[in-house]
Amino acid sequence: MSTTKLPTLAQAGVPTLPEIENVQVEKRFRQVSRRFARNKMAVIGLFFCIALFAIGLFAPLLQPYPPDQVSGEFSAPPSAAHLLGTDQIGRDVLSRLISATQVSLLVGFATVAIYVAFGTLVGLLSAYYGGWIDTVFMRITDMFMAFPFMMVILVVVSVVGPSLFTIIAVLALFSWPSIARLVRGSVLSLKQADHVRAAVSLGLKTPRIIMQHIFPGALAPIIVNATFGVASAILTESGLSFLGMGVQPPTASWGNMLSEAQSISVLSDQPWLWLPAGLAILLTVLAINFVGDGLRDALDPKQ
């Protein structure tokens, strides 16, 4: 007696679950892209950020002079030889501005990468397991949030010593509680969803449930928060460097370039010493905030 072999779902033309999920992801990405593109300021901010990344990546090729090279002209105004003039020591301002772009972007993105990863992990574990784990994690979070942010950073940096690594580490150390609370709130609502309950009833392992069924739902607020966090980290680093507690000379950063222009005579008579760095901070923070606003609107589930 012969048996007839039934065709598989793929052979019958029925899409499989991974294929359905891929189609849904692609559809979601197109929807988010269209919503983001409707926000003109967000698109302009995105192009500005891409240009900044390119400047930071190819900084050694774009700098007309080495950033620490001293010429014979001190506090010289902009000219054909020095497009943005020179500082009090005779260094080319444009070269130092380009070099400082690397430093500021490194501080912003490295800080956010560290504290978002740690804060997300704390929030996920705290909300999913609950009980004493949630209590301990949230009390530690409350303790860190109770510290006066800038004052504690100034004290720690003054004790440890100002450096690029210290700034990144200290900013990340005191920035993770906000993302931890944000993720915890999202996970508390997501773990009650039907698809998560179904995954638990099927006996799936906890790491798989968290990473495949809960974490993707909490990703949108994490991305938006991280975007604004980059702008905040750049501003904080600039403020610390302006006070002499951040990136130390001769390494250039936008903050310590501004710190060299604190006198009234420099502010009024030599604007090329402080205006480029000030505009770089202003435009960068505005661009990143515009991108964050666009992502927040595009990823809003109510849309």
CATH architecture of the domain with range 29-65+110-298: Orthogonal Bundle (1.10)
CB 190 within 8 A of CB 108: no
Residues 107-124: pLDDT tens digits? 889 999 999 999 999 988
CA distance 225 to 33: 18
CB 186 within 8 A of CB 218: yes
Residues 206-241: pLDDT tens digits? 777 777 777 777 788 888 888 888 888 888 888 888
Tokens of 247: 């990136």
Question: Structure pTM?
Answer: 0.81
Q: Look at residues 8, 99, 18 and name the one whose alpha carbon lies nearest to residue 55.
A: 99
pLDDT recorded at residue 155? 86
CA distance 129 to 200: 13
Domain ranges of the chain: 29-65+110-298
